[in-house]
Structure 1
């Protein structure tokens, strides 16, 4: 019986932590100066509960940074960057990254830059490496424009995602913003016909 209690307690703690992280991401994406009380209200928990998991706002923000990197890694894996033609795989990555929603929006928000120290973001991740390998493969196989170097193509991808999310935040439909993003990606980095 003690083991069952420990397991359910751990599950409840994980769900509460996840709710706080998700609420923190959503709240900070809308208001970078939001307080822990604002996050607690959005998560449906008390402020003391948030403090139990994250002693200070900076602890929550650091955890959000790690969480966003984890989500990018999972999205990269779901996109299967090694499967099929490189341009098709790059489109899948673009779709998966776009679906990160507020996590992507918070990563793009320059107004948040002074509110966190995301040390992990300075290091190249496995997701970064997988994306670079995909682009290199596409340039070699001829599905991506060989005149564009790898870094340029990666930066185009992130720039298009930024514009698509700004468009969605401005009121465009998610479907239209993503469709425009994918169309522009194909036209800008695909090999010329």
Structure 2
């Protein structure tokens, strides 16, 4: 793909994610205009609004997969891996703010999301076994709490590294082992 075509595609996808997060009924024409490309350019790439939505969701999910790989859950100390993961997810949530609920029903999407959840849950179990998290909290509590803290941190008006510092400190002090 040519460099300008790649830039245009990236602009359409990230603009679409942002606009659809603000207004789920945003049209392809409005997204194209905001991205600075012609509507026909978008329609040459995506035959329908549903194809555009699927591409946005796929891009978001690929970014999350990259963050999970970069966190190195099994090779890195728990606090460092947690910080890498949190900072990366905050950046993903800000770049790809749309959460397309109807895309979750797609079998390939479900499989990818399930693998990611399994990796995060295994990491949180490791954190518990290594004494970073309390053992007396209900099953799944740490995971659900982390998701909520990530959503909150993603909306804060602070740089991602600082938001990650605050989130990790809050998470480990709040349910961290004493």
- Which TM-score tier does this pair reach, normalised by the shorter chain? 0.7 to 0.9
The aligned counterpart of 1:69 is 61
Uncovered stretches (5+) of structure 2, i.e. residues with no partner:
none
Native 8 Å contact 1:132 1:150 kept in 2:
no
Q: Do the aligned partners of residues 102 and 84 (structure 1) sit closer, same or farther apart at CA in structure 2, a change above 3 Å counting?
A: closer
The aligned counterpart of 2:168 is 182
Out of 64-73 and 157-166, give the one that drifted further: 157-166
Q: Distance in 1 between matches of 2:127 and 2:88?
A: 19
Native 8 Å contact 1:73 1:126 kept in 2:
no
TM-score of the superposition, structure 2-length normalised? 0.83
Determine which of 29, 37, 40 is the counterpart of 1:48: 40
Once the 2 structures are TM-superposed, how far is the Cα of residue 162 of structure 1 from its aligned partner? 1.1
The aligned counterpart of 2:177 is 191
Q: Do the aligned partners of residues 104 and 163 (structure 1) sit closer, same or farther apart at CA in structure 2, a change above 3 Å counting?
A: farther
The aligned counterpart of 1:151 is 140
Determine which of 114, 118, 122 is the counterpart of 1:129: 118
Determine which of 84, 91, 104 is the counterpart of 2:83: 91
TM-score of the superposition, structure 1-length normalised? 0.77
Q: Distance in 2 between matches of 1:94 and 1:21?
A: 23
Once the 2 structures are TM-superposed, how far is the Cα of residue 23 of structure 1 from its aligned partner? 1.7
Once the 2 structures are TM-superposed, how far is the Cα of residue 157 of structure 1 from its aligned partner? 0.9
Q: Distance in 2 between matches of 1:99 and 1:117?
A: 21
The aligned counterpart of 2:151 is 162
Q: C-alpha offsets along residues 7-51 of structure 1, whole Å, 9 cap, x if unaligned?
A: xx5555444322221221122223222111111012211001111
Determine which of 49, 61, 76 is the counterpart of 1:57: 49
Uncovered stretches (5+) of structure 1, i.e. residues with no partner:
1-8
Out of 145-154 and 155-164, give the one that drifted further: 145-154
Native 8 Å contact 1:85 1:138 kept in 2:
no
Once the 2 structures are TM-superposed, how far is the Cα of residue 165 of structure 1 from its aligned partner? 2.4
Native 8 Å contact 1:144 1:190 kept in 2:
yes
Paired residue secondary structure (1:117): helix
Q: Distance in 1 between matches of 2:57 and 2:46?
A: 13
Number of equivalenced pairs: 174
